[in-house]
Amino acid sequence: MTLLRYLHLDVFAATLGGGNHLGVVIGADDWSVAAMQRFARWTALVETTFLLPPADPRASYRVRIFTPHKEIPFAGHPSIGSAHAVMVCGVAEPRDGLLWQECGAGVLPIRVEGSGASRELLLQSPGERVLDTGRAAHPLLPNALSGIELGTLAPALVDGGRRWWLAEVADEASLRAWRPDHAAIGALAQASKSMGLCAFARCSGSEYRLVVRAFPAGVGIVEDPASGAANGLIAAYIRHAEPQGVLSQGYQVSQGREIGHDARLIVQIDSTSIWVGGHSHTVIDGTLDWNPHVA
C-alpha cells in the first residue's frame, strides 16, 4: 500500500491556532467515495478534502470536500486550505496569478497574492441570490433571532454555493456577548434547507470592519470559527443593499473569538466579483498510512 501525503492546516488564522482546521489528502486518486467518507469520518474534522487530477481541462486541480457525514459541493475554508496545499505540495502552479479549482460548484478561480509565509489566497464567490428579506421572511426566524437587537439591514436568506440566513446585529459588543438559542437556529435551518444563521456587526476599529458569528446548525455544528462561503454571502448582501456604502469596496473580518479562536478573513469587492480569503498555515505535513480498501 502506497503511503500518501497528508497536511493538517490552520485556515484563516490571525494568530497561531486561531483559524479553522482542515485535513488534506494528496494522491488518493484510486480511493472510492466510500473510502474518502470513511477517512473523513475518522478525522472528525469539520471538513477533510482530497486533491485529485482535474477532469475539466480549465482546472489546475480537482478537490472533493467531505464532512464527517457527507460529501458537499463547495465550502470556503476547505477551498482556501486546499489551494494552500496545492502550492505547498507542488500539485499545480498559478496561471496569471490564479489557480483554478474544480469542485462540485464548478471551476472557480483562486487569486494568489504574495509568496511564502506571507502568501494569501482569495476565492471568488460562485455567485449569489438574495431569496427573501425581513423578520417575517420565515415563521421560525424571529425565534432564531431572540435576545439580540438587529442592525440596519433586514435579515435575509441568501444562496450562493451554500444557503445561509444573514442578520446584521446592532453593535459588536452585543454580538460577541450573544447567547443564541441553538435549537431555534437548528429548527430554522432544517425548515428552510439552509446552513443556519450567520450574524454580523459593523466595527469602528482599524483592525477589522466586521465581526461575524456563524451557527451552521443545519450541518450539526454549533458555531464555526471561520466561514469563507458565509462571509462571501455577507459581502454580496452588503454590496446589493449598500452599493455606495463604506464597506462596498471590501474590508477585513474578525471571527471565532467567542469560541477560543482568532480568525481573520479578507473580503475584496469589485464591480463584478467578490473575493474572500486569507492566510493558511501548515501545522502538520506527514504521510498517511491508511488502507482505503478495508470496509
Cell digits of residue 26: 494528496
* Non-local CB neighbours of 186 within 8 Å, separated by 6+ positions: 196, 217, 218
CATH 3.10.310.10 in the chain, residues?
Answer: 4-125+279-288, 129-272
Query: Which of the 8 DSSP states describes residue 145?
Result: T
pLDDT in tens, 118-131: 999 999 988 889 99
In the predicted structure, residue 206 carries a pLDDT above the cut 90: no
When comparing pLDDT for 272 and 288, which is higher? 288
pLDDT over 70 at 66, yes or no: yes
C-alpha cell at 5: 501525503
Percent of the chain at pLDDT > 90 equals 91
Nearest Cα to 252, choosing from 282, 279, 272, 281?
279
The whole-number pLDDT of residue 271 equals 81
Give me the amino acid identity at 80. I
Closest CA to 178 of 147, 220, 201: 147
* pTM given for the model: 0.95
Which CATH code fits 129-272? 3.10.310.10
Per-residue pLDDT, 270: 87
* Per-residue cell: 185: 437556529
How does pLDDT run across 84-115, given as a tens digit for each residue?
999 999 999 999 999 999 999 999 999 999 99
How many angstroms separate the CA atoms of 52 and 47, rounded?
16
Structural class in CATH, domain 4-125+279-288: alpha beta
- DSSP label of 143: H
Task: Specify the pLDDT at position 1.
Answer: 62
Say whether pLDDT at 207 is over 90: no
Taking residues 200-222, what's their average pLDDT?
93
Longest Cα separation, the chain: 58
* CA-wise closest residue to 218 among 232, 198, 236: 198
Kindly tell me the burial class for residue 248, based on how many C-beta atoms sit within 10 Å of its own C-beta (0-12, 13-18, 19 or more). middle
The answer to whether the CB of 262 falls within 8 A of the CB of 15 is: yes
